[in-house]
Amino acid sequence: MKALMVRTDFSLGESALKAEHAVKVAKEAGYTAVISADTMNIASVIPLQRAAGDEMAVICGVKLNVVDDPTYEYRAKLAKESNGCMESLERGRNYCFTALIKNEQGYRDICELMTLANTREQFYFVPRLALEQLAATYAKGNILLLTSDIGSVFQRPDFAKIISALITAGGRENFYSVVYPHPTPFYDQINVRAMKVASALKIEPVAFYPAYYEGVDDADIKDIAHMVMNNIKVDQPHRLRIPHQRDNAINGRRHLLQALKEFSVRMGVSVSAAMASTTQDSIVKACEWRWHEMAPALPKMADDEPATLMKLAVAGLRKRLSNKEFGYTPPASEHRVYVDRLKYEMETLTRLGFCGYFLMVRDLMNHSRETGIPVGPGRGSSAGSLVAWCIGITNVDPIRHGLLFERFINPERLDLPDADLDFSQARRHEVIEYLNARYGEEYVAGIPNFTYLGAASALRDTARIYGVDAADMAVSKELKTLEDDSLSLSELREQLASLDKYATKHPDAFKAASKLQNLMRGFGRHAAGMIVAGVPLTERTPVERRGDARCIAFDKRYCEAMGLIKLDVLGLATLDLLDSAKRYIKESTGKDINLDAIPLDDRKVLDGFAAGYTQGVFQLESGPMRKLLKDLGGGIEPMSFKTVVATTALFRPGPIQSGMLDDYVAVAKGFMPPQSLHPVLDELTAETNGVILYQEQTMNATRLLAGFTMAEADGVRKAIGKKDMEKMKSMGEKFIVQAQAGWIDVVMEDGTAQRIHRAEHFKCEDGKLRTVEEALDAGVKLPMAVVSVTGSHPGLSETKASEIWQAFEKNGAYQFNKSHSVAYSLISYQSMWLKTHFPAEFFAAALTILGEDKHQGLVKDALTYGIRVLPPDINMSSNRIEIRTLEDGSQVLYAPFSAVKGCSENGCQAIMRAREKVGGKFESLAQFEEAVEKRACNSRVRESLQKVGAFASIEPGSMPAIDPVRLRDQAELMGNLVIDAVKASRPFEMNPKRSAEVNVLMTRMAAEWAWAMS
């Protein structure tokens, strides 16, 4: 068996070889096996194995970094922090070995070793192991290679001692001494030592010619990749080019045999051709382990998970059906629909083994609610599950809103569920802490995010290391505007004149960028993804470090294949805003607001949407979005919640560019009638003005027109969304054929009539799928009580069916997940409800939670509600925005002390403590100066507070805080909380309208202060 050892781009900066290309070129070169040997990383084994399929063996290996004392730097840091002293100890030098996995035990041992190397104590820029850790583990299920690579153990003067220690610990049978016969003095020296050790210690020698790039012309690309990863300029002296390693292309075995022969002649060392043939073969045969897809591993949540989930779901459904949620209680006539849907979902979840997953997510959501952590009503396709709604995972009634369970879980495929969960952004860390405490750190970790060099980033990074000036480098920004990110730089050059000009001016940099495109750029951390496993993670994957966080070694694309189910634990600032606003309302009115009970047909709220009053409202605050809402608000139908849902789905690049948005608005304003693809679809598209906007609509359309099962319909959605041309072609052919079958009229057992597609299949009592007519002919019971067929109707013509399918293909990529749109529109509606009915509390919360870049817009918007944001007042303000009601009933918001530059939280607390000490309010500036702690509230802070008018109310004769003369200082010290500004180059002039407004406010404040002092 001919084996090629490769190092891929998962070894950042050490290789320019992509895994998929490595397999392809290796096959072409005649190899029958590939050995992966990336540095402290085994993640390339999955793309290698998937590319190889059954045609080539993929041996999983890893280059292990070993150091004498991997904890030295960590202990030195602790000693420094505690002002202690480190005992005298040499750091020692790094060296390396390559381990090849023989069996399942070996895989787990490697996962354990790499996890250990990534611990806080041992990780120092790179993961590292101690020799003792390697010696204690490697021999159980791995082969250890004494590599002749850079950093080889043979470069150490005590290499014989180290190797002897390993042999003593694990024996010789899993030990090989490796020769890399590169024709350079460096490798010659190392290889001679490898041969001598093999002879002296009776270790079998083996020869490899490792590949780090595809062709002989790509040697420079590997160096350029290294420079990009390490930010080294091409013209920088000692730029770490490695001249003794210029021959690592994928070559045939003859190249290895010839190089081995030349090494023998050159160095006078006796070698055997078996080193490159039979010895390699024995290694490959010994390594029986192959990467394979693994069974799902979930925590055990109950002894009988299906029974537990069913009990909880039934109890939850009873409660939901009896309560009014979002102003709606399902009528008794629809209860059977809910019960049947619950039975169907539970049967599917039980059959697929997902009950434990639902119980796990429910546990997390319950804990969050019990501890006061705000949670969202739902996110993504999980909002389409009735079971999720019944047990409290979501707060979206999927039947009321017409959502599909199959959009979340395909009942005919074992695609693992992937729930997206929104939590308070400020308290998201508590959710992660709970997961670790509940299941144990060895079962919980984050997910990495592999980043790649796209066209723009490859061009930008190579331009940087080649010293290209910023003006020329700016061409990379143009690449981001192109829709098709699959084009190569060479193809893009033909489309962009500016890129062609760049390539002509900087040919070397452009050539390098073209070669680096799609290469691995780095390992980050997924913003929200978390794994909670039912087995220790090291049984499936190494656990690595990303900053202070623990992450599995394989990115999100491979989680399912590893049997690891992902949770997206997201932080959403709007949930903090809603929670903050509710707490303000509780303080001011004593009311506990339940935002899950508000009706979705509140006319004042909907009129606010129609008027575009959505500044600060979740998802809907941008200028173009507000304009769209105004356009829809002027339509022939009044604004409704379903319009808000559609707006959320429409305002995206795809629907805008495809014309879907224009069509929707034109119908809404009465400029054109709804388009009709077929009368059967008219009811389906009525809620979206004749536009097939949602993915769920396409799924239902394939069922209604062609009798597709919902599982097949979900397959259509995925194929169109992913532009899987092969699947789209086969499904399109099936749709066109079945759409011609037509419909039948049937009579049900209760006497009602229904129309069913002739090709639609149902699961009968014997578990087989049949059409209605097939079931009646066979005398087999259907899931619904059909008595007889009373009539039939012709289907579509082939031409019409083809036309409709083409429409699905055209618009399918732009359609949106309705489940997600409904769930997020509920948050938008809750935001708007608070803004409409409790504007002061809403603006106070929004200015507290949302970023400073939104403050100016919010302050201006608050004025339209009659609410003015005022500078801090020494007696009215605190460390948050304070709401005050004036005698005439109007409300103002006092900015917190921390809104003033230089005033920290400590300063705020010092002022509040001083105020409390003097009885709750300051009578004079002198009293303030005497009471406040000067260290926490220093002279600079006091001066800034003075400038913005914080002391105006206790300084008789001073300018009021809202006096226009103070605007310059307020703009400088309070940033975007100030919306009026005065140009320094001209004297201040106030227009009569603004002057009158200020006079009214000054009169109010004077009256309020007199009332407060009385």
Residues in contact with 329: Cβ distance below 8 Å, sequence separation at least 6, in sequence order: 321, 322, 323
Q: Report residue 484's pLDDT band, with 50, 70 and 90 as the boundaries.
A: low
59/158 same-domain check? yes
Residue 169 pLDDT greater than 90, yes or no: no
Total domains, the chain: 5
Which of these ranges, 284-288, 623-627, 771-775, 887-891, has the smallest mean pLDDT?
Answer: 887-891
413/460 same-domain check? no
The bridge status of strand 891-894 relative to strand 882-885 is antiparallel
383/479 same-domain check? no
Beta bridge partner(s), residue 59: 35
Please spell the DSSP secondary structure of 27-58, one letter per residue. HHTT-SEEEEEEET--TTHHHHHHHHTTSSEE
Q: Are 994 and 868 in contact (CB under 8 A)?
A: no
Quote the mean pLDDT of the chain.
90
The bridge status of strand 94-101 relative to strand 57-67 is antiparallel
Taking only the tens place, the pLDDT of each residue in 401-419 is 999 999 999 988 777 888 8
Instruction: Select from 575, 610, 640 the last residue of a domain.
Output: 575
- Asked if residue 697 is part of any domain, the answer here is no
Q: Report residue 198's pLDDT band, with 50, 70 and 90 as the boundaries.
A: very high
pLDDT at 527: 87
Dihedral angle over CA of 673, 676, 680, 686, nearest 10 = -40
Tokens representing 539?
A: 């049984």
Q: Report residue 1000's pLDDT band, with 50, 70 and 90 as the boundaries.
A: low
The mean pLDDT value for 99-116 works out to 96
- Asked if residue 137 is part of any domain, the answer here is yes
269/387 same-domain check? no
Q: Report residue 812's pLDDT band, with 50, 70 and 90 as the boundaries.
A: confident
- Asked if residue 644 is part of any domain, the answer here is no
Q: Is the pTM of this model over 0.85?
A: yes
Q: Cα–Cα distances in Å, from 270 out to 145, 192, 266? A: 20, 10, 11
Q: Cα–Cα distances in Å, from 1007 out to 877, 885, 924, 925, 949? A: 18, 12, 18, 20, 18
- Asked if residue 384 is part of any domain, the answer here is yes
The mean pLDDT value for 795-809 works out to 93
Ramachandran region, residue 467 (left: φ > 0; alpha: ψ -120 to 50; beta: rest): left
- Asked if residue 161 is part of any domain, the answer here is yes
pLDDT at 988: 43
Ramachandran region, residue 298 (left: φ > 0; alpha: ψ -120 to 50; beta: rest): beta
382/508 same-domain check? no
Taking only the tens place, the pLDDT of each residue in 513-550 is 999 999 999 998 888 999 999 999 999 999 998 888 89
Q: Are 751 and 737 in contact (CB under 8 A)?
A: no
| Buried/exposed 974-1003: b ≥16 CB within 10 Å, e otherwise | bebbbbeebeeeeeeeeeeeeeeebeebee
pLDDT at 1008: 56
The mean pLDDT value for 187-216 works out to 92
Taking only the tens place, the pLDDT of each residue in 543-570 is 998 888 899 999 888 998 999 989 999 9
415/461 same-domain check? no
Residue 1005 pLDDT greater than 60, yes or no: no
61/138 same-domain check? yes
Q: Are 44 and 104 in contact (CB under 8 A)?
A: no
222/73 same-domain check? yes
Q: Are 427 and 373 in contact (CB under 8 A)?
A: yes
Quick count: other Cβ atoms within 10 Å of Cβ 1012? 12
Residue 982 pLDDT greater than 50, yes or no: no
343/407 same-domain check? yes
Residues of the domain holding 990? 852-1013
Instruction: Select from 488, 518, 548 the last residue of a domain.
Output: 518
Residue 243 pLDDT greater than 90, yes or no: no
Taking only the tens place, the pLDDT of each residue in 646-702 is 999 999 888 888 889 999 999 999 999 999 999 999 999 999 999 999 999 999 999
315/282 same-domain check? no
pLDDT at 849: 94
514/534 same-domain check? no
491/535 same-domain check? no
pLDDT at 181: 92
Which of these ranges, 26-40, 159-173, 470-484, has the smallest mean pLDDT?
Answer: 470-484
Taking only the tens place, the pLDDT of each residue in 834-889 is 999 999 999 999 999 998 889 999 999 999 999 999 999 999 999 999 999 988 88
Tokens representing 220?
A: 């420079």
pLDDT at 658: 86
Q: Are 396 and 377 in contact (CB under 8 A)?
A: yes
Q: Look-up: residue for tokens 């150091």?
A: 67
- Asked if residue 564 is part of any domain, the answer here is yes
- Asked if residue 632 is part of any domain, the answer here is no
Taking only the tens place, the pLDDT of each residue in 131-151 is 999 998 887 899 999 988 888
Sheet holding 142-146, edge to edge: 3-6, 33-39, 57-67, 94-101, 142-146, 175-179, 204-207
Instruction: Select from 226, 256, 286 the last residue of a domain.
Output: 286
Residue 372 pLDDT greater than 80, yes or no: yes
- Asked if residue 103 is part of any domain, the answer here is yes
pLDDT at 84: 60
Residue 987 sits in a domain of what CATH number?
1.10.150
Sign of the CA dihedral 295, 296, 300, 305? negative
Residue 266 sits in a domain of what CATH number?
3.20.20.140
- Which amino acid is present at 677? L
pLDDT at 995: 56
The angle formed by the CA atoms of residues 316, 318 and 319, to the nearest 5 degrees, is 65
